[in-house]
Amino acid sequence: MKDGSIAILFDRLGPYHRARLQAAARLFRVVAVETCAITREYQWERIDQPRAFRRVTLFEDVPDGRSLKRGRLRQRMANALREVDPAVAMIPGWATPASLVALEWCLRNQRPAVVMSESNAFDEERYALAELIKRRVVSLFSAGLAGGQLQREYLITLGLPRDRVFTGYDVVDNEYFATNAAHVRANQAAFRRELNLPERYFLASARFVEKKNLLTLLRAYASYRELAGRLEGLSPWDLVLLGAGPLRETLSSQLSTLNLRRHVLLPGFIQYRKLPAYYALADAFVHASVPEQWGLVVNEAMATGLPVIVSNRCGCVPDLVAEGKNGFTFDPASVKNLGRLMVNVSRLSDRRLEEMGGESRRIVAGFTPAHFATGAQRAIDVAKATPICRATLFSWLLLKALVRR
């Protein structure tokens, strides 16, 4: 180990990772290892070369790490980690080939590995054999850094000792969102004109894929408008839906079917530098996903001081949503339930909405990049103090089989 660096791995570095890594670099020497410089899944602009930490990229021009030939991936990962020579490697989960070959390297070179996880016991249908395999893989890590309560309990269920699992993985740069939102609100007329945004609206932000449950959101919004139309003095809010993905045409067609084209805006994928304005000018945030491991967009909305309406299948709910105080939860299968909640929220006074937004800011203040850094430091310290697992022949064969999938 040349300098005691900590290797922190991600599939691709985006603005969310940069905020965490910069905070971590204040506590220890960080080398960020990204599998790919670009991905099809996320259209982020590439972040500038950071000053606070070093970045190593395995593949500059491959948009999907899962499609790489496994031998090539294993060799690139081994070369990178050999050159970095980390004291500890922090690895995102156990589901991707990149994570598994990084774990292989740690075991082969007797370096502690910390698993970073936002999975929980309820985010997917669970099968006994698959859980047994996961337990075997998770047992090869020395410590864990989880998103929050549900995620920590799941790692413990998978066999990591309770005193080796910490929280703080799922955070955003609260200060960035709060500061920029305040600037936008101070100049809201100009920003509203520039972005062509309505006076009052619910905001949603998600990839346009099945698990985000956006068709249900549109049906619930149609129900909301119907219910609101029956109430005297209630002018329905519009809906602004940020994002892109394979369901774009399906969603657009649904707008016509539900006669919502004049009331729902689809601005597309919005880059990180422009996101705060959309939050700042909204009145409330809605997240309808089923399932959802965490839901970082909820952090963003709360950091900008919005009340939130969140599916009870989102992994962030126990940590971030205080029922009736900063938001509400709902059954994501119930169009009527969500529609009624949207009515109730849009009937609240501006003062009450502001109070709920203030509570959102207070709650999410416990989930910052600094919390990621301290959680990571604790996991690293425990990992260093824990005897490194010596993988059995069965474990080696299992890892190789999982990498080849």
- For residues 215 and 358, membership in a common domain is answered with yes
Q: Return the bridge partners of 144, or none.
A: 115, 165
Q: Does residue 43 carry a pLDDT above 80?
A: no
Q: Is 139 a member of any domain?
A: yes
Domain count, the chain: 2
Q: Does residue 62 carry a pLDDT above 60?
A: yes
Predicted confidence (pLDDT) per residue in 346-386, tens digit: 999 999 999 999 999 999 999 999 999 999 999 999 999 99
Residue 3: per-residue pLDDT: 63
Of 405, 404, 387, 401, the C-alpha closest to 107 is 387
- For residues 111 and 245, membership in a common domain is answered with no
- Whether a cis peptide bond, with omega within 30° of 0, leads into 86 is no
Q: Where would I find the H helices in 56-173?
A: 70-84, 97-108, 128-138, 149-157
Residue 329: per-residue pLDDT: 99
Residue 66: per-residue pLDDT: 64
Q: What residue numbers bound the domain in which 127 lies?
A: 6-171+368-404
Q: Does residue 179 carry a pLDDT above 80?
A: yes
- For residues 158 and 180, membership in a common domain is answered with no
Spatial contact of 124 and 89, defined as CB atoms under 8 Å apart:
no
Residue 321: per-residue pLDDT: 99
Instruction: Provide mean pLDDT across the span 21-27.
Output: 97
Q: Is 117 a member of any domain?
A: yes
Predicted confidence (pLDDT) per residue in 248-262, tens digit: 999 999 999 999 999
Model confidence, pTM: 0.95
Q: Does residue 1 carry a pLDDT above 60?
A: no
Average pLDDT, the chain: 95
Q: Is 1 a member of any domain?
A: no
Q: Where would I find the H helices in 275-389?
A: 275-280, 296-303, 317-320, 335-346, 350-364, 369-385
Instruction: Provide mean pLDDT across the span 276-301.
Output: 98
- For residues 154 and 218, membership in a common domain is answered with no
Give the pLDDT band of residue 68 (cuts 50, 70, 90). confident
- For residues 121 and 253, membership in a common domain is answered with no
Q: Does residue 45 carry a pLDDT above 90?
A: no
Instruction: Provide mean pLDDT across the span 139-168.
Output: 98
Q: How far apart are CA 167 and CA 144, in angstroms?
A: 8
Q: Does residue 2 carry a pLDDT above 60?
A: no
4: left (phi over 0), alpha (psi -120 to 50) or beta: left
Predicted confidence (pLDDT) per residue in 29-41, tens digit: 999 999 998 777 7
- For residues 380 and 313, membership in a common domain is answered with no
Residue 135: per-residue pLDDT: 96
Predicted confidence (pLDDT) per residue in 75-109, tens digit: 999 999 999 999 999 999 999 999 999 999 999 99
Share of the chain above pLDDT 90, in %: 87
